[in-house]
Amino acid sequence: MSYDLLLTGGRVFTPAGLVDAALAIQGGKIAAIGETGPAERTIDCTGLTILPGVIDTQVHFREPGLTHKEDLETGSRSAVLGGVTAVFEMPNTHPNTDTAQAIQDKLDRARGRMWCDHAFYIGATQQNAELLAEAERVPGCCGVKLFMGSSTGTLLVGDDKGLIAAMRHGSRRMALHAEDEDRLIERAHLRVEGDPTSHPVWRDRETALKATRRAIAAARETGRRIHILHVSNPDELALIAEHRDLVTAEVTPQHLTLAAEDAYPRHGTLAQMNPPIRGVAEREGLWHWLGQGVVDVIGSDHAPHTLDEKSRPYPQSPSGMPGVQTLLPLMLHHAAEGRLSLERVVDLTSAGAARIFGIAGQGRITTGFTASLTVVDLKARWTVGEAWLASRCGWSPFAGTELTGKPIGTIIRGQMVMWDAELQGAPAGEPLSFLETLKHLGAAGGALSHRPASA
């Protein structure tokens, strides 16, 4: 048998663990593990490790309306350079992505421009609850995102009535930004002009924990599966551990890597995000619960703003930082330092996302699955350089950081998209397919189904 692509000489992360084997790809899918034959293209991966494609389930690519910070092309370019094969993009754009038509607009914008595969959240509002059940099943939609506390943009459902109404309409796992809006308003006076160290004082641990308690109570009342985004307080993870039948959790590389004691003096408002970077004790608490298996996914919460915007005096400075390109390098570095295993990295960056969101044919290297792969050099020692960063915002708090472990190649549906920090070909990302919406693909005229890799 002949193949489109053959990867030889590398170690392949299979469901049985790492194996020394060739990996054959045909028609955009994994055709064989451990078999060789004639191939249109063969790549020598000696010294490299082939992982399931990295899926970043929280990015803000700012299109439409905020494209001076980022857009679908630049954000996805940044993603694939960092080894990411697919992203879930957030709805707090301008206008908000809060209708099925707005999701379709993003899908239309992405066609021929996004380098990686993608899906888009629909944002919950106080007015659109009755639309959510239908909209969340539009092919290319990854589900509903609800902001319990105010952050970038105008999406907000701050009260329990609106929260429960949104949860009652639909059935897919709902993603939540869990910060309590009433407490944020009550504590706004604690912000100190020009002092970003007051950010975690204002948006304190209880602000996050209170919202997570409310979210879990609403999930219990409605029977809705929920996903708590960017958890920053280990007390939240302790609570989530008691409700694992309904609740899953995300942690960001920023919250696992940075700590307030160093981040704000060093980076100032560049370290400002929602929920905030907290202290060393909170960071180590997150690591504890990650070790207990409570964290399901790592999401970057890639949220770029320009340097001019971030240079405004706190609290006029916006919250958020870029992160999609550094997600995998940071987690590989933590693995190299012994903080977690490679198996856990794969679970957090690929298999976990596929499992909890029901992504069809993704998250494992197995014959018949989509050939979306991330090739890494686990031993490479390198420094994150500004020239390597592709986000339009042009900065990262991790620029200049020395790391061990580097993405070398990004393969999406059998097509080489990035190799050795160089883009390959043209943008050809496609919408992801989800198990809960596969039956809707036919109604879409097949336009959103996976096309052959040669298309």
List active site positions. 301
For the chain, state the CA radius of gyration: 21
Phi and psi angles of residue 201, each rounded to the nearest 5 degrees, phi first:
-75, -45
Pick the closest to residue 266 from 385, 387, 398, 402 (CA basis): 398
Count of CB atoms within 10 A of residue 408's CB? 20
Count of CB atoms within 10 A of residue 193's CB? 9
Pick the closest to residue 143 from 451, 441, 432 (CA basis): 432
Q: Is 321 exposed, middle or buried (0-12, 13-18, 19+ CB in 10 A)?
A: buried
Q: Which residues of 422-436 are buried (b: 16+ CB within 10 A; e: fewer)?
A: ebeeebbbbbbbbee
Conformational region of residue 7, where left means phi above 0, alpha means psi within -120 to 50, and beta covers everything else: beta
Q: Report cis status (omega within 30 of 0) of the bond before 315.
A: yes
Phi and psi angles of residue 444, each rounded to the nearest 5 degrees, phi first:
-90, 10
Answer yes or no: are the C-beta atoms of 424 and 408 closer than 8 Å: no
